[in-house]
Chains A and B, each alone.
Chain A
């Protein structure tokens, strides 16, 4: 029975006409030629010890070993909150639908497989995170979704967590501080990407509104900013921030290199984001504005309650696309001397023990970038559907 379905599917989709049959055969030959080469390399030629020996470096770089518990704690907080939010959002639906089960299954398989090249600890950590997210998801759905405090203030809790986690990682107050300039590896990539995304979003909204403003000075300034920044290459802005800024500023003022990089990324991304959001604003029918005015709402209320929610919803895919490209653009920081994920990889490759292992290392970080970008696009799909 199942066999018949399979054969029928193949007949229908791969061999329905003579030219499709030829295409199928050629593709299969090409893919198997490429795939077998890749697989042979992965299992025989490649030397994965470079990943196993440097796994900590890839993820947290030179973060002090005795303070690593802070990273683990932050990871746990985020995972638990993520699980709870997942549970609350899907309070009315099944937590374990087909798609989610497939994701859970593939993550657990992956965590077992990666234990081979990366060491048992990495696999166990990943598996632990998965269990945490599932159990907190169940708790969220079963219990917390009935507590109105959680459902109402979920976004507020996230904002507080954001500050809590950055504070935890950076230190300060009663914790031993870790200088932001000493962040490296994936930690730095994420730190820069998340802060840039969080800040460039409201700036982009303001710029988009400014561009639509009736006040000429605000409008001209916004248009000028957007058009000038969009005409510059990102690497140019980053070089400006890293190399030129110290020469221009007075010697007493010396912002951290990481802060300079974040500012560069924000300056760049907010201009693009503004154009995306403007697209959303222009998609809102005029009637909405008129209706809001007729109800007696003032401009800020009208914008925050009526216009922006609709406008942003309309352009979620474009905005997330912008965020994904911002995340990947952080790899340019390796060129200006920051030790992000790419930078730490190059540094690892300079270790005399691992010279020439670039294929393994680059493949690995490509996989990390892919996981984060794909997660973002999955999340945006979810938000769109709700």
Chain B
């Protein structure tokens, strides 16, 4: 195998040295911070680091994915960008970490990510026993049902003895079973492990209806051969408020994320967006002046730049712009509950004063 034995000896030695040096590599670590205290918040850590580390899904249409240019994009990604814009006036100062469903909470607890924006449903157990702190809901999702128009399915009662494609091991499967049991109806579940498989089967007509989160159903309906032949029913089987979250017990950092989220909503309520922001610099409206940091010191008091809201709007836009860019336009999904409270939706920001 080797031309001379000295060569072989040398190679073995070198490989051993390689192994040893490589094994010492794990000491090449990034210093992370000690437990947050009143004086040592993650807010300061992020500011000193000059970069936000954001945990995302990375594989969910409309929420977070890598676009053709290799840039992260989506609704959740825009929340990360908004926080970075508020702190650094630069939405690109974010490092994204793809997190699996299993490791997402650990990653927050262990301080590996500063912020988790990973289509996570706000539930009581996650907020309390898992030790998370949820910022305001950024997307009100809910489980829905898609059926062909030809099948004539209009409500859950029509699904009696029909087959429904559903993803295994998810809350969607359990929710459907619960609802049908409540109505005393039987149905035939057609269970798949993978989202792609569900819609492939639905497309082939192997089931009369498919159930999943409404945002997903609408996204999938758009790419069916004849989207007009399918309908996503109006009823909602479950509540899925998706919200960004941070670790428990770090008020300054939690406040930052919370009010960055609120400012997106408030900006839309004021009618300020990334295009008309400049026209508001001379406004006389005191509440808008306070909001944009032209007056008072709402931002400085919480350890942020005083004009943090203006920075967010400049780089990321208001909630409506984010929604249209990521969900509304690509998937033609109506805002529904994600409208402002003034328009009959659920989005409501406490006053900025």
Which A residues fall within an 8 A CB radius of B? 53-54, 56-57, 61-63, 65, 151-153, 155-156, 159, 162, 179, 181-182, 184, 195, 198-199, 201-203, 239, 242-243, 246-247, 251-257, 259-260, 263, 304-305, 308-309, 312-313, 335-339, 343-344, 346-353, 355-356, 358, 383, 386
Contact = CB atoms under 8 A, between A and B. Distances in A.
B19 interface: yes
Contact of B2 (A65, A155, A254, A259): A155
A199 B23 CA distance: 9
B219 A355 contact: yes
Nearest to A339: B98
Interface string B60-74: 111011111011010
B15 A255 contact: no
A383 B18 CA distance: 23
Interface string B82-105: 000000000000010111101100
Interface stretch (B31-39, B168-176, B300-308): B31-39
B26 A263 contact: yes
Contacts of A153: 7
B110 A355 contact: no
Contact of B34 (A251, A256, A260): A251
Contacts of B7: 152-153, 155-156
A251 B66 contact: no
Give the one of B11, B66, B102, B222 with max A CB within 10 A: B66
B11 A243 contact: no
B19 A202 contact: yes
6 contacts: A184-B66, A202-B15, A251-B111, A259-B25, A335-B100, A337-B100
A252 B11 contact: no
B29 interface: yes
B59 A305 contact: no
Nearest to A182: B95
A356 B102 contact: no
Contact of B66 (A57, A195, A337, A383): A57
Nearest to A50: B68
A179 B28 CA distance: 11
Given A65-B70, A182-B95, A242-B103, 18 more contacts: A54-B68, A62-B66, A62-B71, A151-B3, A152-B4, A159-B18, A252-B29, A253-B27, A255-B28, A259-B28, A304-B9, A304-B12, A309-B1, A335-B100, A339-B58, A347-B98, A356-B199, A356-B220
A159 B68 contact: no
A61 B70 contact: yes
Contacts of A252: 29, 31-32, 34
Nearest to A253: B29
Given A259-B26, A305-B5, A358-B196, A198 B18 contact: yes
Interface of B: 1-5, 7-12, 14-16, 18-19, 22-23, 25-35, 58-62, 64-68, 70-71, 73, 95, 97-100, 102-103, 106-107, 109-112, 196, 199, 219-220, 222-223, 330-331
B342 to A, nearest CB: 29
Given A337-B103, A339-B98, A348-B66, A254 B3 contact: no
B330 A352 contact: yes
A237 B27 CA distance: 20
Contacts of A256: 28-30
Contact of A343 (B9, B98, B107): B98
A239 B66 contact: no
Given A252-B31, A252-B32, A309-B8, A336 B103 contact: yes
Nearest to B110: A246
A337 B97 contact: yes
A15 to B, nearest CB: 39
A-B residue pairs, 3 tightest by C-beta: A350-B65, A246-B110, A352-B330
Nearest to B199: A356
B66 A344 contact: yes
Contact of A199 (B18, B98, B219): B18
